[in-house]
């Protein structure tokens, strides 16, 4: 069954090509189509386009479909183009002509829009919760290991003293920035497009404010053409949000892979969180973090993919827009899995508390030792030259009792302030 069926068949090759992965992806979206359909049904009854009895029957059957979806028994067979055609078929099969009335004053275009935006709202909320779990863990690890020093690097050269407290909380605060993008995407998704129909509205006296409130959107996407133009745009906004998170996770995963290597030996994990080699019995490979890194790098390409699909399309609907679904939905599932695995694994991290006992890290303290000369009255440039000369001649003696006190330094992590930033972005 196709919603645009005019009584003649379509070549199977054309059907397969145009439907694509919609049936599979729509299993994730079907419950949101039902939510919107219930609101649409109530609105049709409110404005008198269907009777009270017809409204009641449609709602009862839509509730039954919801139960099938929740029980995991809802299917979209090859006879159906997508979730919309399957749901309307079920309603018509059970209710006859009453089932056919549900498509009054709407199009598959605004059905897709509203279902996708409800899906994105839900997924973005879940992503925010996953990010908050990782954030909380990172702050907890920062507090626990705040006194353990860690070499800081620039250009992959030994630079200045850092700490595990700084390292963990740096990624925590970076997640706050990522959530600004996620919140922006949520704001864009939280606008009701239902009632825009095929993108040019309807001659029926529908009540779009009613469906906005009934579905739980913050506001309407008022202009019907603007609502249609939102298709692809809301997915791209979401992609920017999850790609920002992905960038943070990818960098953290790379640090973990680097710090786990025998050349660094800064951190380790229990055997059950690493993998071995088929021929090298000594190996403890960071496969989880390598996959997080790879998946997150892939996710960072999603905004560009969506840009290339939607770029330069004129206003109005085009079939190209169908392709955004198969790009954004798997990416959302991947970022959630990466967040979950990062939390699961980092809970078991083991830090090396004796890293800086190795004399090769003495030069980490050159700047702090130089700064002591400046504090005693020596001009910075003279102190810099003297320190360089000591290092060159091998007479450098590091001052290791460092004292960093300014906000955000290793002696003053400002964990409470970072916590407040996260709470504010989540409000």
Higher local confidence (pLDDT), 9 or 312: 312
pLDDT at residue number 2:
52
Q: Which domains does the chain have, with CATH numbers?
A: 12-104 (1.10.275.10), 109-205+221-356 (1.20.200.10)
For residue range 350-382, list pLDDT tens digits in order.
999 999 999 999 999 888 888 888 899 999 999
For residue range 188-233, list pLDDT tens digits in order.
999 999 999 999 999 999 999 999 999 999 999 999 999 999 999 9
Contact 242, 336 (CB under 8 A): no
pLDDT at residue number 381:
94
pLDDT at residue number 4:
42
Q: For the CA atoms of the chain, what is the radius of gyration?
A: 29
pLDDT at residue number 80:
87
pLDDT band at 283 (very low <50, low <70, confident <90, very high): low
Burial of 373 (C-beta count, 10 Å sphere; 0-12/13-18/19+): middle
Of 307-311, 338-342, 363-367, the poorest mean pLDDT is in 363-367
């Amino acid at each position: 069954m196709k919603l645009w069926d005019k009584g003649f068949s379509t070549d199977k090759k054309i059907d397969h090509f145009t439907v694509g992965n919609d049936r599979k992806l729509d299993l994730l979206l079907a419950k949101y189509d039902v939510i919107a359909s219930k609101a649409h049904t109530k609105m049709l009854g409110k404005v008198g386009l269907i009777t009270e009895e017809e409204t009641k029957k449609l709602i009862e059957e839509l509730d039954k479909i919801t139960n099938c979806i929740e029980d995991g028994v809802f299917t979209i067979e090859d006879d159906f183009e997508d979730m919309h055609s399957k749901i309307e078929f079920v309603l018509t099969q059970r209710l006859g002509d009453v089932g056919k009335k549900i498509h009054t004053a709407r199009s598959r275009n605004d059905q897709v829009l509203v279902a996708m935006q409800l899906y994105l709202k839900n997924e973005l909320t879940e992503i925010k919760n996953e990010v908050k779990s990782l954030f909380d863990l990172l702050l907890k690890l920062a507090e626990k290991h705040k006194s353990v020093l860690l070499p800081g690097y620039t250009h992959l050269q030994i630079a200045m003293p850092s700490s595990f407290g700084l390292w963990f909380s740096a990624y925590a605060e970076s997640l706050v920035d990522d959530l600004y993008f996620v919140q922006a995407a949520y704001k864009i998704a939280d606008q009701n497009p239902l009632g825009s129909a095929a993108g040019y509205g309807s001659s029926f006296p529908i009540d779009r404010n009613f469906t906005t409130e009934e579905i739980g959107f913050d506001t309407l996407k008022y202009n019907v053409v603007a609502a249609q133009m939102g298709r692809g745009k809301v997915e791209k906004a979401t992609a920017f949000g999850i790609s920002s998170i992905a960038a943070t996770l990818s960098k953290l995963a790379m640090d973990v892979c680097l710090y786990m290597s025998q050349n660094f030996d800064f951190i380790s994990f229990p055997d059950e969180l690493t993998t071995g080699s088929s021929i090298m019995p000594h190996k403890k490979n960071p496969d989880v973090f390598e996959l997080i890194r790879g998946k997150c790098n892939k996710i960072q390409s999603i905004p560009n993919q969506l840009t290339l699909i939607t770029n330069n399309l004129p206003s109005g609907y085009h079939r190209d827009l169908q392709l955004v679904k198969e790009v954004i939905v798997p990416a959302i599932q991947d970022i959630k899995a990466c967040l979950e695995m990062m939390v699961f694994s980092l809970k078991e991290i083991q830090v090396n508390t004796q890293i800086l006992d190795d004399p090769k890290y003495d030069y980490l303290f050159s700047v702090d030792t130089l700064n002591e000369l400046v504090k005693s009255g020596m001009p910075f440039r003279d102190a810099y030259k003297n320190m360089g000369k000591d290092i060159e001649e091998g007479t450098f003696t590091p001052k290791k009792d460092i004292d960093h006190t300014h906000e955000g330094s290793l002696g003053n992590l400002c964990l409470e302030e970072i916590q407040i930033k996260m709470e504010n972005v989540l409000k």
